[in-house]
Structure 1
Amino acid sequence: MYVHPTEKDNTTGSPALEEMTDNPFHLWEEHSVNSSMLTLASGFLSDEQFHIIFLFLIYATQIINNCAIVANGLNIAVFVKLGFSEPSNICLTALAVCDFTLAVLLTWSNLCFWLTYHNFQLPFHSANVSLLTGGIQWAFLSTTIAWITAFISFERCLCILVPLKVKRLITQRGTFVAMLVIILVTFCPSFFTYVRYKFVWVFNPYLNRTILNTIPVNSEFAILFEKISVAVCGVIQPLLAFSIVLICTVLLVVQLRKISSWRISVTSAKSQRIQSEENSAASSSAAEARISQKEERLVRMVVAIATIFIVNYIPTCMTLLCYVVFDEFNEFGVYRRLFLVSSYIMSLGQPISGSVNILIYYKMASKFRSVFRRLVRLDRQKQERHELE
C-alpha cells in the first residue's frame, strides 16, 4: 500500500505556485493531486487537524524507527555469530534484515515529509521523490516481511504436525532458497513502478529554478500495469500472508495446549506409579513422536513473534480493505487526507513489531541471549563488578 506520486504535473504554470499560503502542505498537495479534487475538508480532516496528526505521526514513527534500526542491527549481528546451520536462524536473519531496511526507508520518507512541511528549498520535490525512492519500496517490503513471518509460522506448524518428517521437508538449503523466492516475488516488483512513473527535471517558478520531480507515464500499458500490480502486490499478497500467519498461529496455540496437557498427564501418571506396561510403552512411543522441549520453546517463541505481527498488522489490513471497498479512500479521492493518516498509522505497525522481536529472542532463546550478552559485553561488566566487590 502506498501513496502515489503526482498524477498530473502542476509544477509549471500553477497559480498556487505564484502566491504564498499559510498551509505548509498546500504546495505539496497541489503537486500531488488534481486541483479540482482538492477541497479544504478533504474528507473529515480540516487543515489544522491534518497538520497536527500528520506531524505527530512523523515524529512518533521516527522514534520507533530509531529503536527498530538499533534492535535489528543487533539481531543481525547476533544471528551472524550464531551461524546458519539451523533453518530457523536463516528465517530470523532474513526477517531482521528486512525489518532493518524497512526502518531505514521509513526514516528517509519521514525526513522528506518533514522537509516538505518546513518548506526547505531543495533541488528536488522532497515529498514526491521520497514516494518513488522510499514509500513504494516500504510498501512492498512490508509484504515481504509478512510472507517471511508466514513461512516461519508454517514451518513451526510442520514441526508439530509432522515432527518426524520436518527435517527432510525443511532443510538449510531449502530455507535459503525460500527466502530468496519470497524476496524476489514480493519486493522486486516494486521497481516495476518506474514503468508508470519517471523522474524529470522541471522548472519551478516559485523557487525560480529547475528541480527534480516525478510525473506519470500515461500510456494504456503503464496504467493497466499499475492497476494489476496494486491489486496483486498491494492488496492480495498482504491479506493472504496475514491469513496464513493467523491460521498457523491458531494451530500452534492449540497444539501447544495439547502438548502441555499431555506432559501434565504423563508426569502425573508416573508420579502415582499406576501405569501398566502397555500404557508405559504407549507413552514412550508417543513421547518419541512429540516435539522436544527445545523445539517447544522455539514454537512458543514463533507464536509470540506471530502474535505481535498479527496485532500490529491489523491496521494494515483495515486500510487495505477500506482501499478496496471505498472508491474515494485513496490518494486522489475525497478522503485522501484520511487515507494519508491511515497509511502512516499503518506504517507504525511493522517498526513496532521489528523493535519488540529482540526482547522475545532475548527472553526465550538461551543461545541468542548468551551471544547477545557477549556482544554488548554485559557478562564482562557483570564479572568486573563482582571483582570490585
Structure 2
Amino acid sequence: MCVFSREEDNTTRYSALDQMTNNPFNLCGENNKNSSMLTLARGFLSDEIFYTILLFITFTLQLINICAIIANSLSIAVFVKLGFSEPSNISLTALAVCDFILAVLLTWNNLCVWLTYHNVRLPFHGNNVSFLTGGVQWTFLSSTVAWITAFISFERCICILFPLKVRRLITPSGTFLAMLIIILLTFCPSFLMYIRYKFMWEFNPYLNMTILNTIPVKSELAILLEKISVVICGVIQPLLAFSIVVICTVLLVVQLRKISSWRLSVTSAKSQRVQAKKTPAASSPATEARISQKEERLVRMVVAIATIYYLL
C-alpha cells in the first residue's frame, strides 16, 4: 500500500471527483471548472461536504445502474424469446442492448471514480483511462439511443397514419438495416477520439510504479477530427433526433384524437339508426365512453414517454 501525506491524500481524492465537474472532453489536465453548474455549489459548501454529496450521488447512480443492467437483461431475454418476426421487437431489442451497454459503461466510470477517491492502488490513471474506455463511448452511445428512440416514434407514427400500408413500409429486414445504419453513423465515430488521445505508460512518483495514462495528441488533424465528431455526434445528431421525436409525437397525438372522434361519430350515428329501428342491439353511452377513455389513455402514454425522453 502506498502512503500519502494528508495534503497529497486530499489532492488525489478530490481530483478523482473533479472529473465530474469538468468538461467531459477535456482530459489530462485540460480542465475548465467554470463550465459546470456543479462548481457554483462549491462556493457555498466546504470541499469535504461537497465531495461527500457527490459520492452519495455516485453511489445512488451505481445502484440505479445495477437495476438498469438487470432490467435490460430481462428485456433482451424476453425479446429474444418472442423472436424477431415483428419489426418492433428488433428496434426495442436494439434499444435494450444500447441501454444495457450504457449502464455498464457508467458503472465502470463510477467504480473508477470511487476507487480513485479511496486511494485504491490501480495500475492506471482512474479518471483518464476510464473516460477514454467508457466515458467517450457513453457519450456517443447516448446519441445512438436518441436515434433509436426517434425511429421507434417514427415507426409508431407510421402505424397510425398508414395502418393498411405499414406491413409494406416497415419490414423486419428494413428495421434491422435501419438499426445497423444508426449504430454506424452515431457510435462508430467515437473511435475517432482514439486519434486525438492515446494511451501511454508513465511513472507515478506517489505510487512508485508505472501506470497507464492517456495523453492528448497535438496533431492539427486529430484536433479537427475530434471537433467534427463532437459537433456532429454530440450536438447535431441529438438535436435532429429530438426534433423527429417531437414531430412524430405531435402527429401521433393529433391522429389518435382524429381517429377517436371519427370512431365516436360513427358509433353515435350507428346507435341512432339502430334506435330509430328500435333494435335492442344499440351501442350504449358506456361503450362510447370506454372507447374514448382508451384513446385518451393511449394519448397520455405516448405523451408521457416523449416527455421522459425530453427531460433525459
- TM-score interval, normalised by the smaller of the two chains: 0.7 to 0.9
Match of 2:10 among 22, 45, 65: 22
The separation in 1 between residues aligned to 2:245 and 2:33, in whole angstroms, is: 39
Structure 1 residue 114 corresponds to structure 2 residue 114: yes
Residue 174 of structure 1, CA deviation: 0.7
Deviation track 1:173-230 (CA, whole Å, cap 9, x = no partner) reads: 1111000000111111111110000111000011111000110011000111111111
Deviation track 1:345-367 (CA, whole Å, cap 9, x = no partner) reads: xxxx4xxxxxxxxxxxxxxxxxx
Aligned to 1:85: 85
Match of 1:308 among 305, 308, 312: 305
Deviation track 1:222-257 (CA, whole Å, cap 9, x = no partner) reads: 111111111111111112111111221121111111
Structure 1 residue 149 corresponds to structure 2 residue 149: yes
The separation in 2 between residues aligned to 1:28 and 1:70, in whole angstroms, is: 27
Cα root mean square deviation, aligned: 3.0
Residue 162 of structure 1, CA deviation: 2.2
The separation in 2 between residues aligned to 1:203 and 1:18, in whole angstroms, is: 22
Aligned length: 278
Letter of the 1:140 counterpart: F
Residue 43 of structure 1, CA deviation: 3.9
Aligned to 1:382: none
Deviation track 1:65-115 (CA, whole Å, cap 9, x = no partner) reads: 112111111111111111111111111111111111111111111111111
SS of equivalent to 2:190: helix
Aligned to 2:285: none
Deviation track 1:344-389 (CA, whole Å, cap 9, x = no partner) reads: xxxxx4xxxxxxxxxxxxxxxxxxxxxxxxxxxxxxxxxxxxxxxx
Residues 309 and 63 (structure 1), Cα distance of their counterparts in 2 relative to 1, 3 Å cut = farther
Unaligned runs of 5+ in 2: 20-26, 277-290
Q: What are the within-5 Å matches in structure 2 for residues 120-131 of structure 1? A: 120-131=120-131
Residue 164 of structure 1, CA deviation: 2.5
Residues 19 and 52 (structure 1), Cα distance of their counterparts in 2 relative to 1, 3 Å cut = closer
Residues 271 and 55 (structure 1), Cα distance of their counterparts in 2 relative to 1, 3 Å cut = same
Match of 1:44 among 18, 36, 40: 40
The higher-RCO structure (CA 8 Å, 6+ apart) is: 1
State the percentage of identical aligned residues: 66
SS of equivalent to 1:212: strand
Structure 1 residue 33 corresponds to structure 2 residue 29: yes
The separation in 2 between residues aligned to 1:305 and 1:143, in whole angstroms, is: 21
Aligned to 1:101: 101
Q: TM-score, normalised by structure 2?
A: 0.80
Q: What are the within-5 Å matches in structure 2 for residues 156-175 of structure 1? A: 156-175=156-175
Q: What are the within-5 Å matches in structure 2 for residues 229-268 of structure 1? A: 229-268=229-268
The separation in 2 between residues aligned to 1:64 and 1:305, in whole angstroms, is: 24
Q: 2:249 touches 2:302 (CA, 8 Å); kept in 1? A: no
Q: 1:18 touches 1:205 (CA, 8 Å); kept in 2? A: no
Residues 28 and 150 (structure 1), Cα distance of their counterparts in 2 relative to 1, 3 Å cut = closer
Letter of the 1:33 counterpart: G
SS of equivalent to 2:10: coil
The separation in 2 between residues aligned to 1:17 and 1:188, in whole angstroms, is: 43
Q: 1:245 touches 1:310 (CA, 8 Å); kept in 2? A: no
Residues 306 and 82 (structure 1), Cα distance of their counterparts in 2 relative to 1, 3 Å cut = farther
The separation in 2 between residues aligned to 1:38 and 1:71, in whole angstroms, is: 35
Residues 38 and 313 (structure 1), Cα distance of their counterparts in 2 relative to 1, 3 Å cut = closer
Q: 1:242 touches 1:310 (CA, 8 Å); kept in 2? A: no
Deviation track 1:252-292 (CA, whole Å, cap 9, x = no partner) reads: 1111112122222222222221699xxxxxxxxxxxxxxxx
The separation in 2 between residues aligned to 1:306 and 1:113, in whole angstroms, is: 36
Residues 248 and 122 (structure 1), Cα distance of their counterparts in 2 relative to 1, 3 Å cut = same
Deviation track 1:37-72 (CA, whole Å, cap 9, x = no partner) reads: 669x98423234541342132122112111211111
The separation in 2 between residues aligned to 1:210 and 1:115, in whole angstroms, is: 18
The separation in 1 between residues aligned to 2:142 and 2:270, in whole angstroms, is: 49
Q: 2:91 touches 2:175 (CA, 8 Å); kept in 1? A: yes
Residue 308 of structure 1, CA deviation: 3.1
The separation in 2 between residues aligned to 1:25 and 1:54, in whole angstroms, is: 11
The separation in 1 between residues aligned to 2:240 and 2:60, in whole angstroms, is: 29
Aligned to 1:136: 136
Q: TM-score, normalised by structure 1?
A: 0.65
Unaligned runs of 5+ in 1: 1-15, 277-292, 315-348, 350-389
